Amino acid sequence: VKTNLRPHIKTHKTPILAHKQIQAGAIGICCAKLGEAEVMVAGGIKDILIANQIVGDQKMSRLVGLAHHCNIMIAVDDPKNVADISSAAQASGAIVRMLVEVNVGMNRCGVEPGEPTLALVREIEKSPNLEFAGLMGYEGHLVFCADYQERAAKTKKAMQLLTDTVELVESADIPVEIVSAAGTGTYNITAEIPRITEIQAGSYIFMDGRYRSILKDFDCALSLLTTVISRPNRNRLVVDAGMKSITNEFGPPEIIGIQGTKPVRLSEEHGTVYVEGDATQLRPGDKVDLLPSHGDTTINLHNHYFAVRDGILEAVWEIAGRGKFR
């Protein structure tokens, strides 16, 4: 990376990737956590879905506080939680929009499709200071299904549970404005289903090793620049990045662009790689790029993105949502 050609490298402190997605046509931003939504609001994003449940007095008061500054929607799957948020919203004079999360087979959060979902929708409808905005069903159990045909068939089946439930709710004269679903692995399948109105894909923006193995639609843009710190013998090298810098739960990272390297074995501060052929030329001080197998959890370990185009560092972007998991 040549840094000497552009003396005034810009450092951005706003959630710049979120702004870029909105400039490119997204209607808003999907977050997982309230802390991330707070970062987005502080950075000027006006339309936010927290695709997660917000539980507990402190979080509810932060939520209703945010609702005064942006159009915020959250996922719900529990009548007591709906009642509690309604009380908090009334006390602060805010309106909170809600998507009922439907379990489409992932068996994580979510009400069962059909009547149980309709029952919760009715609770929202009769609760002051809440607005029923629609349904959400995340098919996260299918996003990594390796075979495209199988992934498509299973996704359509899972989404049928969601869209049948939309019909049921609408048959009770309750309009369903938003039907939200999908991750990167299913973005192009779910987006084709007529009743789906928005998708929640996020990893596509960088991709990572695990997604790259099943999906070729997007290039990998995220890598970790490391330095070779040791060459104990001809076939082994060690870089200065371990589990504190890059995550392992979806498999080991890989060295990018150099022939003859095996996947990287991580300890806390070291990455050990077996090398052959061209890669045996690498020496301490040489730089190598690692491709993380999982982008989300790797990004959360770092403070900045270094935005490089054609080998030139153009900007430094703060990872403003880093660590905002509360």
- Which residues are at the interface with ligand PLP (CB under 6 A)? 51, 138, 140, 143, 183-185, 200-204
Closer CB to ligand PLP, residue 203 or residue 293? 203
Closer CB to ligand PLP, residue 43 or residue 137? 137
Closer CB to ligand PLP, residue 50 or residue 237? 50
C-beta neighbour count of 82 within 10 angstroms: 22
* Minimum distance of ligand PLP from residue 214's CB (angstroms): 11
* Minimum distance of ligand PLP from residue 154's CB (angstroms): 15
Query: 197: number of CA atoms within 13 Å, CB side?
Result: 12
* Minimum distance of ligand PLP from residue 188's CB (angstroms): 12
* Minimum distance of ligand PLP from residue 27's CB (angstroms): 15
User: Are 68 and 41 contacting, i.e. CB atoms less than 8 angstroms apart?
Assistant: no
Q: Is 179 helix (H, G, I), strand (E, B) or coil?
A: strand
Closer CB to ligand PLP, residue 203 or residue 261? 203
Q: Is 193 helix (H, G, I), strand (E, B) or coil?
A: coil
CB-closest chain residue to ligand PLP: 183
CA distance 259 to 31: 38
* Minimum distance of ligand PLP from residue 183's CB (angstroms): 3
* Minimum distance of ligand PLP from residue 32's CB (angstroms): 6
Beta bridge partners of 272: 238, 265
Strands 254-255, 271-274: parallel, antiparallel or unpaired by DSSP? Answer: unpaired
Closer CB to ligand PLP, residue 129 or residue 186? 186
Closer CB to ligand PLP, residue 83 or residue 205? 205
CA distance 291 to 127: 48
Closer CB to ligand PLP, residue 39 or residue 136? 136
CA distance 168 to 137: 15
* Minimum distance of ligand PLP from residue 165's CB (angstroms): 17
Closer CB to ligand PLP, residue 14 or residue 297? 297
| Three-state SS letters, 85-119 | HHHHHHHHCCCEEEEEEECCCCCCCCECCCHHHHH
Output the DSSP codes for 12-65.
E-S-HHHHHHHHTT-SSEEESSHHHHHHHHHTT--EEEE-S---SHHHHHHHHH
* Minimum distance of ligand PLP from residue 100's CB (angstroms): 14
What separation in angstroms does the CA of 317 have from each of 15, 18, 26, 288, 304? 8, 12, 20, 21, 6
